[in-house]
Structure 1
Amino acid sequence: MKRLTKWRLASLFAILALILSGCGKPYLSTLQPAGEVAKTQYDLMKLSTLIMVGVILVVVVIFIVVLVRFRRKDDTIPKQVEGNHKLEIIWTVVPILLLLILAVPTVAATFKLADVSPMDNKNSNALVVNVRAHLYWWDFEYPGKGIVTSQELVVPTNQRVYFNLKSMDVKHAFWIPAVGGKMDVNTDNINKFWLEFDNTKANEAGNLFYGKCAELCGPSHALMDFKVKAISKDKFDSWVTAMKNVKTPQKADSVLAQQGQEIFNKSCIGCHAVTPANNMPETARLAPNLTNFGDRSRVAGILPHTKEEIKNWVRNPETYKPGNKMAGKYPQMSEDQLNALAEYLMGLKVQ
């Protein structure tokens, strides 16, 4: 009875795992592809799964037929037959054909997805984004636009976006599950690839996708998230123009925000930039760019975008992201100072 109970529990958990594997939001699930790369990878997954399931079914059918038809009926030793050339040819040729059916589209897709020649062509109009991974945040630079931002990647839909990936500390991995990837982010070389964001799928997902670090990089690896705003080409161009118009740090629009700006300039400006040009070299970018912080959807990539969560984060960032490099970099602030700082940060908008 105990064994039967264990098998029932194992079966229940197996069925539950199978059901949950099909769950997912359109902004996060790899099973709801939202771009050309993700669709190509998804089709390859389906093809390989169909081949594997087909092989399993054929083997099971043959096994059952042999088990029933050729079961032992008496003690007589049957005639021993070996070296059936037809069978040997069949079970040699069939796996080769199956491998070719899987290999040809896989190799073709690999070369297609690895083609980043437009980003290396100086005369090309390709949109290039330099992605720089840090413990535990992301830096996005648009070299052709003169813009740097952090934690939220903004991209146009129905257009290929090319990425240069590099880590500034340890090995990471760049992954937007619903759109494609993942790609290693190394310290000693730059990896390149491209993604395309489908406009219809982006609208279904509320124009917001989730990106993650997919390589174990430290105690807050699971919290190294970023958001992707996938918007139409016209809206993207408007965003670029708005960002470019921010030539100097934005002025606070209230007395409380002005107090917060003063606190920011004394305690935070040494690490955080508040202009999108951010002409500092990559190695000197110590913390996320906050130019459009008020337009973002998360605080520190993981917390709800509210003044209260800003205050909670500044009070003790180690509580939320263990091992982050912000802890201990500024003096402790009073409640009034935190209110003023949060007011100023929430006012940093470009649209």
Structure 2
Amino acid sequence: MRDRLTKWRLFSVFAALTLVLSGCGEPFLSALVPGGEVAQKQFDLMVLSTIIMVSVILVVFVIFIIAIFRFRRKKGDENKIPKQVEGSHLLEIIWTVIPIILLLVLAVPTVKATFDFADVTDMEKKNEKGEREALVVNVRANLYWWEFEYPDHKVITGQDLVVPTDQKVYFNLKASDVKHSFWIPAAGGKMDTNVDNVNQFWLEFDNEKASDAQNLFYGKCAELCGPSHALMDFKVKAIPQDEFNQWMDDMKTAKEETPTDATAAKGQEVFKENCLSCHAVTPQDARPEQARLAPNLATFGERSRVAGILEHNEEELKNWIRDPEKYKPGNKMTGTYGELSEDELDQLAAYLMSLKVQD
């Protein structure tokens, strides 16, 4: 008996800890730490719905306790039949009207927010020069990586999305192979990426919240898409407008350069022989979409992760190149090139780490 009580006590402690810890979150990843307008509105709706649900539970629980104690069978009344109440118009009206009111309280702001989030009319507004005023990003999801295209600037990045803070960023979402889902928990979302149609929505990144997250948010695929679904991550660099403008100017003018380091220079030749058919190393990738089979590597040396999941260093990079299947089962890079020697791996890693647009 004591063992059972001990187990139940431990279970209660762990259950309480789970409940408490479920409310914890990091500013770069958690939907409970909103980092923008959309995320904040969604968080407010979650709080509102939680308040309504808890209030209903508490009211029902109180009524239940009152009914148990007030109408319990008392000693000496075993054969007494209580007064039979067949109906009450007042009670029927109350328990019909109150749920309707609660439903409206929840439904009205939810419907309004849904339509606000789906409003992308400003996406196509143009200025006097005929240029689009809004920032638009074409997102293409692949097994298991992400491509981000800035169509008005003719710039493409892989795995790292760069956006300005304190303004709306509009997204065109699609997939190249199977259904995926684009989700940046701290900024809002999620929305599916499909093969046969384009979904559109917008997000906004708060500058102060981005600063709290060191200007780096995490994004994920939120639709089960294959064996490496859980590893399909990307990073979002949210920076002030002037820094974003400078970054975009650097991306527009970036050119492929021959490395000055001898090892990296040899690695460039290894790259051209083995990797260039799938990867690009300049942000201005003019190839058609169907020819862009792998992430753009123009800013590989500036990334925070290798393949979105590994520490960003040469050793982990070589591990990834040796056996990508080990780290992301089912990825399309597996088996697409011949065996590389250790010297060639060192050279290739040195070259890839040298690929930077901004020092």
- The normalised TM-score by structure 1 is 0.97
Aligned to 1:27: 28
Pairs aligned (count) = 350
1:35-184 alignment, distance < 5 Å = 35-73=36-74, 74=77, 75-123=79-127, 124-184=132-192
Q: Quick one: which of 261, 278, 285 aligns to 2:292?
A: 285
Is the deviation greater in 1-10 or in 338-347?
A: 1-10
SS of 1:31 mapped into structure 2: coil
Query: Offset at 1:269?
Result: 0.4
**Residues 172-230 of structure 1, C-alpha deviations (whole Å, 9 max, x = no match):** 00000111001111111111000000000101101000000011111100000000000
Q: Quick one: which of 266, 280, 285 aligns to 2:273?
A: 266
Whole-Å separation in 1 of the counterparts to 2:142 and 2:126: 28
Whole-Å separation in 1 of the counterparts to 2:270 and 2:135: 37
Structure 1 unmatched runs, 5+: none
SS of 1:183 mapped into structure 2: strand
Whole-Å separation in 1 of the counterparts to 2:262 and 2:7: 66
Query: Offset at 1:114?
Result: 0.7
Whole-Å separation in 2 of the counterparts to 1:330 and 1:311: 14
Q: Quick one: which of 327, 332, 336 aligns to 2:339?
A: 332
Whole-Å separation in 2 of the counterparts to 1:320 and 1:111: 40
Pairing 1:221–2:229 present? yes
Aligned to 2:325: 318
SS of 2:55 mapped into structure 1: helix
**Residues 121-151 of structure 1, C-alpha deviations (whole Å, 9 max, x = no match):** 3444010000000000000000011100000
Pairing 1:344–2:351 present? yes
Pairing 1:10–2:11 present? yes
Moved over 4 A (4+): none
Q: Quick one: which of 284, 309, 314 aligns to 2:316?
A: 309
Whole-Å separation in 1 of the counterparts to 2:256 and 2:334: 24
Q: Quick one: which of 295, 302, 315 aligns to 1:295?
A: 302
Is the deviation greater in 155-164 or in 328-337?
A: 328-337
Whole-Å separation in 2 of the counterparts to 1:6 and 1:166: 50
Is the deviation greater in 81-90 or in 39-48?
A: 81-90
SS of 1:32 mapped into structure 2: coil
Question: Aligned Cα RMSD in Å?
Answer: 1.2
Whole-Å separation in 1 of the counterparts to 2:21 and 2:290: 42
Whole-Å separation in 2 of the counterparts to 1:3 and 1:84: 46
Contact 2:137/2:150, CA 8 A, preserved across alignment: yes
Whole-Å separation in 2 of the counterparts to 1:19 and 1:58: 23
Amino acid corresponding to residue 81 of structure 1 in structure 2: V
Query: Offset at 1:9?
Result: 4.0
Contact 2:124/2:134, CA 8 A, preserved across alignment: no
Is the deviation greater in 72-81 or in 179-188?
A: 72-81
Structure 2 unmatched runs, 5+: none
Amino acid corresponding to residue 125 of structure 1 in structure 2: E
Whole-Å separation in 2 of the counterparts to 1:72 and 1:322: 64
Whole-Å separation in 1 of the counterparts to 2:120 and 2:196: 19
